[in-house]
Structure 1
Amino acid sequence: MTEQKIGNVHEYTVTELSGAVKRTIEDTFGLVRVRGELGRVTRAASGHMYLDLKDEKSVISSVMWKGMAARLSINPEQGMEVIAMGRMTTFPGQSRYQLVIDSLEPAGVGALMALLEERKKKFAAEGLFAPERKRSLPFLPQVIGVVTSPSGAVIRDILHRLRERFPRHVIVWPTLVQGRGAEVKIADAIKGFNALTPNSTVPRPDVLIVARGGGSLEDLWCFNEEVVVRAAAASEIPLISAVGHETDTTLIDYVSDRRAPTPTAAAEFAVPVRSELLSEVLNKERRFVGAATRTIEQRRTALMSAARGLGRPEDILGAATQRLDRASDGLRSGLRARLDNALTQVARVGGRLTPNLLAGGFAKRENTIAQMWSRISDRTDRIVRDRHSRLTSSARVLAAVSYQSVLERGFALVRGTDGQLLRRTGDTASVPGGQIQFVDGTRDFVFDGSTVPSKSQKKPVKAAPKTDKDEKRSNVKPKQQGLFD
């Protein structure tokens, strides 16, 4: 019986059974909506994405083809709670089933908010949101860089507001601001503006505006991605974030140097109002002129008050002028009286001058001069005689020590041919001849090489034999002879 039943069971090949299971699963679960937590998230080089959906007890392998993966508005991450919609199928090569995902979205705003808070805590712990990192915006930038979509209303609002307030040179870096890959484009735009140098053909902006219009949390999610946050934090150019409306908040708002509630407000933060500046300058000019005028008037009033306190120069100098005039008149009359008196004395003295009086005066002066000349002559004679006596004594001393007196006594000077004195016989060894100076002249001579015995040479004298007394005397020690007494 058992064998009959077994023989009635349909026999499948492995491929047939795999295909039957595949059709059964696909027909039964042609379109499903699954809520779960993302486990493993892998993006292959081909662009396909492989994910695991799990809950507390089970795991379903999932795959999203690259066309769908490129259109995701969020970047799937491990731990994110999502809702996936797709169809169930099998993979016969490994005998497993899987979910082919056609759409993937966060499981409500709460899931995204939880992920947002988690990232916010992470970046805050790194100090990217610290107030001391934020830089002040330039008061009046020459060039403004804008990172946004060139086709939206955002760039038109910014340009319109800048034109109203203070027209500036604006450079737009066109980029995606929503959808898959937008975060990379935004980060590249921020880095590209910072890479510009003063010598570049494109001028380097003085301030950046990253702007986007309003939208849902999913639409603005690219501004919460880590690559955008880190690019904004690393920007050397001051950055204004203007993403969404006033109630929308993204992570780039925390890391930027200034957060604007709207793109229009970002333009207002970037430049001042030109008319207000002109008005302020005119107002300050009026205030400055008024202050300067008041200061000058105050100084003029103070000077006039001080002048009144000093009095008129005529009052101060009048008495002194009168005294000077009186003294001048007195000086003139005094000089005239002094001159008249002197002329009178000269006339009186001149009347007493006669030739005899002058002759007597001259005679007296001549007598005085003669006496003085006599004293000078006597003094001069004494000095000359004294100097003559001293000179004569010196001449006698000089004559006594002069070699001429030696020659007078019969000596002579012998000089070689070189004019040097020959004092010893050894000096004649290298001299062939010379000159002999006598008291009355000189004579030349030549050495002939022969020697003549001198009369002064004495014959040797034999020594007398020593006596006993001499022998004893020679044996006496120096101390006994008293040499050291």
Structure 2
Amino acid sequence: MDPGLDRVRGVLEITTIIRDALDLPVLAGCWVRGEVTNYTHASSGHRYFSLSEVRGGKSAVIGAVMFRGSARALAFEPASGMDVIAYGHVGLYEPQGKYQFYVEDMRLAGEGEKHLLVERWKRDLGAEGLFAAARKREIPPFPRRVAVVTSPSGAVLHDIENVLSRRYPVEILLSPTAVQGETAHLEIAEAIRRADGLADVLIVARGGGSFEDLFPFNRPEVVRAIAACTTPVISAVGHEVDVTLADLAADLRAPTPSAAAELAAPDRAELRAGLGKDRQRLQDAALGKVDRCRADLDALSLRFRPERLRRRVEEGRQQIADLEERMRRGYEVRTGRERLVLSGLAARLAASDPLAPVRRGYVLVRRDREVVRSVEGIAAGDRLDLRFADGTCTVITERVRHDRDV
């Protein structure tokens, strides 16, 4: 028996092995360049074709399919013989036992290379933070001057001038530049730097065009010039569906140049309407205040009618009279008590007055400023001070006689 027959593999097993072998990261999402051959646009909307390449005497071909969901986004109609760049993944179509390329995006080769370049620039510039939302600035609400970076001969400048003159007349400063061509990106960057700081807002604008026409606005020189601006920037490049790297770097993106002019300045008609509404609100508030004050006055006039006021005054007078009477009675009682107390105090003071006896004819005797209360404290020859009711005199004692000696 043939030794190889002891391990026979089924078709499904082999297919599974091939499918797994094709499950490589490099084949899961890649760009492939080749010539379109055998192109078929099916009635279902799917596109079937092959991508072939001949190089160095060798040739290769790979089957490809682009389903209608992806094909709707094609910017051109493919045809056999076209040199294209296609993005997708390689997979195995098991019912037919063949591998093929499942295309999700496809571009003409020359344009496709530029698309790849823009994707790389977008990744690198994004890593520098030039597209970060945190660095976006507000557009000033009431600008006095608007700078415009665009071609002086195109319709873009005319559209912007018309919109601004109609909405909110401001001074327009043109920083002229070419907007397409091999060196357009250098001129655009220089025009941006030239206008920076000379206006309140800066519009970078260009009319619609192909990807190739708008390519200068994807260049890093233009993106860095916008990001470095001290003046807030509105980008209006191409139509609404066109998005360039300049749009991502600007503080605000407008779908068209006319829309950029509308975003750069307010509408004076809307401002007037807003002022009218504010005036009406203030007037309504003032009239409402007057009405409330009038109502308050009417209420007060009812509360203070003459008869009511007279009655309240009479009630107040009566209350004052009652209070006055109570105070008078309390004062008399309190005053009577105070006269009795004062009389007692006066009697006590009179009794303790040392000069009272003197005023009745008695004499107060002092020796050396001490009161002499008995003759035992006096000796012949002592100098004595006699206090009378109306004055004093000094005497010399000649003789002392005590009552016990009598």
TM-score, normalised on structure 1?
A: 0.44
Inter-partner Cα distance in structure 2 for 1:290 and 1:269? 33
Task: List alignment gaps of at least 5 residues for structure 2.
Answer: 1-32, 35-53, 58-82, 85-107, 329-354, 384-406
Shift of 1:258: 0.9
Task: Give the secondary structure class of the aligned counterpart of 1:276.
Answer: helix
Instruction: Indicate which of 268, 271, 296 corresponds to 2:265.
Output: 271
The structure with the largest alpha-carbon Rg is: 1
Inter-partner Cα distance in structure 2 for 1:120 and 1:57? 35
Q: Name the structure 2 match of 1:379.
A: 366
More strand by percentage = 2
Shift of 1:272: 0.6
Q: Name the structure 2 match of 1:181.
A: 183
Shift of 1:299: 4.8
Q: What CA deviation, in whole Å up to 9, does each residue of 1:76-107 have, x standing for no partner?
A: xxxxx99xxxxxxxxxxxxxxxxxxxxxxx84
Inter-partner Cα distance in structure 2 for 1:57 and 1:126? 41
Inter-partner Cα distance in structure 2 for 1:327 and 1:189? 93
Inter-partner Cα distance in structure 2 for 1:214 and 1:304? 70
Q: Percent of aligned pairs with the same residue? A: 42
Instruction: Indicate which of 137, 140, 146 corresponds to 1:138.
Output: 140
The amino acid that maps onto 1:208 is L
Inter-partner Cα distance in structure 2 for 1:318 and 1:373? 63
1:303-314 to structure 2, matched below 5 A, reads 304-305=298-299, 308=302, 312-314=308-310
Shift of 1:303: 6.0
CA contact (8 A) 2:358 2:364 kept: no
CA contact (8 A) 2:168 2:266 kept: yes
1:214-233 to structure 2, matched below 5 A, reads 214-233=208-227
Q: What CA deviation, in whole Å up to 9, does each residue of 1:243-294 have, x standing for no partner?
A: 1222322111111111111111111000011121011111111112202322
Inter-partner Cα distance in structure 2 for 1:189 and 1:209? 11
Inter-partner Cα distance in structure 2 for 1:189 and 1:259? 19
Q: Name the structure 1 match of 2:315.
A: 319
Q: What CA deviation, in whole Å up to 9, does each residue of 1:120-166 have, x standing for no partner?
A: 23333333222222111110112211111222221121111111000
Task: List alignment gaps of at least 5 residues for structure 1.
Answer: 1-34, 37-54, 59-80, 83-105, 197-203, 335-367, 393-485
Report the CA distance shift for 1:206/1:57 in structure 2 as closer, same or farther (over 3 A): farther
Instruction: Indicate which of 243, 249, 263 corresponds to 2:237.
Output: 243
Inter-partner Cα distance in structure 2 for 1:214 and 1:236? 27
Q: What CA deviation, in whole Å up to 9, does each residue of 1:398-447 have, x standing for no partner?
A: xxxxxxxxxxxxxxxxxxxxxxxxxxxxxxxxxxxxxxxxxxxxxxxxxx
Inter-partner Cα distance in structure 1 for 2:130 and 2:357? 122
The amino acid that maps onto 1:290 is D
Shift of 1:211: 0.9
CA contact (8 A) 2:365 2:371 kept: no
1:394-473 to structure 2, matched below 5 A, reads none
Inter-partner Cα distance in structure 2 for 1:291 and 1:269? 33
Residue 212 (structure 1) aligned with residue 206 (structure 2): yes
1:70-149 to structure 2, matched below 5 A, reads 107-149=109-151
Instruction: Indicate which of 293, 298, 303 corresponds to 2:287.
Output: 293
CA contact (8 A) 2:159 2:257 kept: yes
RMSD: 4.1
Shift of 1:304: 4.3
Task: Give the secondary structure class of the aligned counterpart of 2:208.
Answer: coil
Inter-partner Cα distance in structure 2 for 1:236 and 1:305? 63
Shift of 1:176: 1.4
Inter-partner Cα distance in structure 2 for 1:289 and 1:380? 101
Q: Name the structure 2 match of 1:192.
A: 194
Task: Give the secondary structure class of the aligned counterpart of 2:266.
Answer: coil
The amino acid that maps onto 1:317 is V
Q: Name the structure 2 match of 1:163.
A: 165
Inter-partner Cα distance in structure 1 for 2:155 and 2:369? 134
CA contact (8 A) 2:118 2:218 kept: yes
Report the CA distance shift for 1:374/1:231 in structure 2 as closer, same or farther (over 3 A): same
Report the CA distance shift for 1:370/1:297 in structure 2 as closer, same or farther (over 3 A): same
